[in-house]
């Protein structure tokens, strides 16, 4: 009985890490240094998925704040034909958002690895 518990617990842990930490499949992952090239291009929809408080404390000009908890309500306002560039504090929340956008049929999804903490302007 104890062995079954540990097997199930191990499976849950593996599932959590594979869905939360590993890069989202089918998503382009870029460094913050590569982001600078995209900022002036109007074909990119720049979305910061941090909380409004985090966004107001520090953000990159051109990014729109749509917190991760609210992206489902806003995803229909975005153009599926344009790139969606996602950013958060460290890259974890934006990776989760990237998985969701891919699930909703967005083909061109970009996640900024390392998030805003790696941003140098």
Question: For the chain, which domains are there?
Answer: 2-118 (3.40.250.10)
Which one-letter DSSP state was computed for residue 49? -
- Beta-bridged to residue 89, according to DSSP, are none
How many CB atoms sit inside 10 A of residue 113's CB? Answer: 16
pTM over 0.75: yes
Q: What is the pLDDT along the chain (121 residues), one digit of tens a residue?
A: 788 777 887 777 766 665 555 566 679 999 998 998 888 888 899 999 999 999 999 999 999 999 999 999 999 999 999 999 999 999 999 999 999 999 999 999 999 999 999 998 6
Q: How far apart (Å, rounded) are the C-alpha atoms in residues 56 and 46?
A: 16
């Amino acid at each position: 009985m104890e062995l079954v518990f540990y097997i199930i617990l191990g499976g849950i842990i593996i599932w959590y890490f594979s869905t939360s930490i590993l890069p989202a499949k089918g998503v382009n992952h870029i460094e913050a240094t590569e982001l600078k090239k995209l900022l002036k291009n109007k074909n990119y929809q720049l979305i910061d998925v941090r909380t409004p408080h985090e966004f107001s404390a520090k953000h990159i000009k051109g990014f729109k704040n749509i917190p991760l908890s609210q992206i489902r309500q806003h995803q229909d306002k975005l153009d599926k034909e344009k790139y969606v560039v996602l950013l958060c504090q460290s890259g974890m929340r934006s990776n989760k958002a990237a998985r969701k956008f891919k699930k909703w049929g967005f083909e061109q999804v970009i996640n900024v690895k390392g998030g805003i903490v790696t941003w140098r302007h």
